[in-house]
């Protein structure tokens, strides 16, 4: 288990807040001023458990069109009793508030560093979103033992439960600790421009997970996605002895890489009626049809190779070069990600 980075007396300071053991503090990571001269920040919750243990950072809303981090963090705190938690959670439901407010992937007012998931560790002297990323990363790095960055298909797609982790035992263990539904793991390099990758480069186990999309934010559907993520975080906390209970695992994990299928033309995308997520498919099976605006078929789009569907476009409007399918290719099957299991 990672060593905790709380103070010797158990208090934990992040951004503008300090929480004693057994305390919940809602505060922020300062990110400069708005045009009225008011202080801006990234809202965070320091949920400091009464007992000793690791500090788990949960980061949502890197992309502002992905609300799954926020709903799952709200649900997690509803399910936890701070007096019975060992270690701490630092939760950032929305890392990119301007993007969230506008329901867009990035801050529409920032054309230079639009995608916050490509610019870590940020730049305190850089473009607008790079400054916010730099503040977030500077607050996180010294206080983070484990990190989960929560994503989804956002406005354009639906993604099922898949994750990206570096090929290190500690990252694979954290990924496997998410529980039984997380049996497809993509390998991602360390040192890339997303927060997890930068944490891994600094020796902190960190993963990026996907589940959901705007097409599943209506009433019961949104609860179902949020509940699944909350239960996965609870499973992680059980695994690292942050709460009582027996963690459950997939047991075997498909490890692979992503093949992205992009639209070969501009028009309307209609997916096949029978597509199933994470079900083995052969090369050349139909994914769907791309129509032009006269209703003529531009292209019939097939699976590029043997693999499984991890995500598919949910928004019919599509421009040439945009995402159609996030296709997972299995390179190996592993059963050794949980030490001692």
Task: List contacts with Zn ion (CB under 5 A).
Answer: 63, 66, 151
Nearer to Zn ion, 63 or 131 (CB): 63
CB of 162 to Zn ion, least distance (A): 12
Exposure b/e, 290-316, CB count within 10 A at least 16 = b: bbeeeeeebbebbbeeebbbbbbbbbe
Nearer to Zn ion, 66 or 145 (CB): 66
Q: Report CA 228 to chain centroid distance, whole Å.
A: 13
CB of 118 to Zn ion, least distance (A): 11
Nearer to Zn ion, 144 or 211 (CB): 211
CB of 155 to Zn ion, least distance (A): 10
CB of 208 to Zn ion, least distance (A): 8
Nearer to Zn ion, 21 or 61 (CB): 61
CB of 244 to Zn ion, least distance (A): 32
Nearer to Zn ion, 23 or 66 (CB): 66
Alpha carbons 96 and 98: distance in angstroms, whole number: 6
Nearer to Zn ion, 106 or 288 (CB): 106
Peptide bond between residue 121 and the one before it cis (omega within 30 degrees of 0): yes
Query: Of 292, 299, 226, which is closest to residue 261 (Cα–Cα)?
Result: 299
Alpha carbons 267 and 259: distance in angstroms, whole number: 22
Alpha carbons 225 and 277: distance in angstroms, whole number: 15
Query: Of 63, 147, 56, 131, which is closest to residue 97 (Cα–Cα)?
Result: 63
CB of 34 to Zn ion, least distance (A): 24
What kind and span of H or E run contains 2?
Answer: none
């Amino acid at each position: 288990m990672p060593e905790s980075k709380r103070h010797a007396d158990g208090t934990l300071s992040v951004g503008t807040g300090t929480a004693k053991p057994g305390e919940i503090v809602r505060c922020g990571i300062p990110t400069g001023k708005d045009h009225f001269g008011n202080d801006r920040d990234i809202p965070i919750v320091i949920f400091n458990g009464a007992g000793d243990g690791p500090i788990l950072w949960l980061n949502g809303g890197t992309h502002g069109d992905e609300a799954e981090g926020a709903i799952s963090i709200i649900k997690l705190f509803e399910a936890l009793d701070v007096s019975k938690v060992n270690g701490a959670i630092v939760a950032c439901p929305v890392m990119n508030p301007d993007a969230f407010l506008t329901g867009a992937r990035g801050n529409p007012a920032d054309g230079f560093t639009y995608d916050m998931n490509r610019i870590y560790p940020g730049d305190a002297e850089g473009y607008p979103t790079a400054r916010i990323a730099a503040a977030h990363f500077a607050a996180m790095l010294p206080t983070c033992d484990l990190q989960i960055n929560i994503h989804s298909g956002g406005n354009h797609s639906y993604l099922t439960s898949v994750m990206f982790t570096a090929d290190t035992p500690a990252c694979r263990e954290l990924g496997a600790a998410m529980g039984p539904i997380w049996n497809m793991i993509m390998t991602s390099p360390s040192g890339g421009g997303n927060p997890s990758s930068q944490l891994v480069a600094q020796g902190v186990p960190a993963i990026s997970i996907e589940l959901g999309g705007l097409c599943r934010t209506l009433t019961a559907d949104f609860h179902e996605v949020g509940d699944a993520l909350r239960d996965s975080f609870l499973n992680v906390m059980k695994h690292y002895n942050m709460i009582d209970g027996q963690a459950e695992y997939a047991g075997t994990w498909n490890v692979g890489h992503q093949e992205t299928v992009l639209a070969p033309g501009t028009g309307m995308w209609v997916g096949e009626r029978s597509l199933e997520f994470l079900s083995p498919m052969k090369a050349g099976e139909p994914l769907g049809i791309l129509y032009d605006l006269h209703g003529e078929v531009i292209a019939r789009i097939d699976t590029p190779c043997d693999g499984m569907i991890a995500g598919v476009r949910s928004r019919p409007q599509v421009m040439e070069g945009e995402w159609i399918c996030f296709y997972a290719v299995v390179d190996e099957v592993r059963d050794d990600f949980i030490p001692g299991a």
